Amino acid sequence: MSLGNLRDLYQQVILERYKTPRHRGTTNPVHRRQRGHNPSCGDTIELTVQLNQAGDRIVDVKFEGEGCAISMASADLMAEALQGKTIEEALEMVKRFQGMMKGEEEFPKEHRKLNVMQGVAQFPVRIKCANLSWHALKAALESHNTDSVDFVSNETEQE
């Protein structure tokens, strides 16, 4: 497969996720709620997380929001990859995703679907779009508020 075709394939996955997301909505119950905003593109997201009884493992993640195809597809792929992950594993994935956006890392086979976002690293203005949901996730998992409505902005994330 040529690089051109590979890029088309990634675009297809991103557009498909944008048009028919699988993880839109609100978890029931809501254990963590986090809004995120990406002023440079206008993307907004509201992430909800359902945890297990011990509070150390993700049962479900859903998102609501408005934004470009990259931000919405990234949120949908993220929500899917997080099902059943421990908080610790999820935070590792945040780091890996951010590393991938710098062109430094990629996900192992188990999460290779997330690698479709790898192409975004070539477009610096879109990196914040792809990172938005992961940024909100990190804030959601690190806060101990059950129902935080604070906005996180990723505007200060990169120099």
Judged by the rule CB under 5 A, the positions of this chain that interact with Zn ion are 41, 43, 68, 71, 129
- We find the least distance from the C-beta atom of residue 38 to Zn ion, in angstroms, to be 6
Of residues 75 and 100, the one with the C-beta less far from Zn ion: 75
Provide, rounded to whole angstroms, the least separation between the CB of residue 101 and Zn ion.
Answer: 13
CB of 96 to Zn ion, least distance (A): 21
* CB nearer to Zn ion: pick between 27 and 154: 154
Cα distances (Å, whole numbers) of residue 85 to 47, 50, 61, 103: 16, 11, 11, 24
H or E element that contains 5: helix 3-19
Nearer Cβ to Zn ion (36/60): 36
Nearest distance in Å: CB 100, Zn ion? 17
Of residues 43 and 46, the one with the C-beta less far from Zn ion: 43
Q: Give the separation between CA 36 and CA 69, rounded to whole angstroms.
A: 16
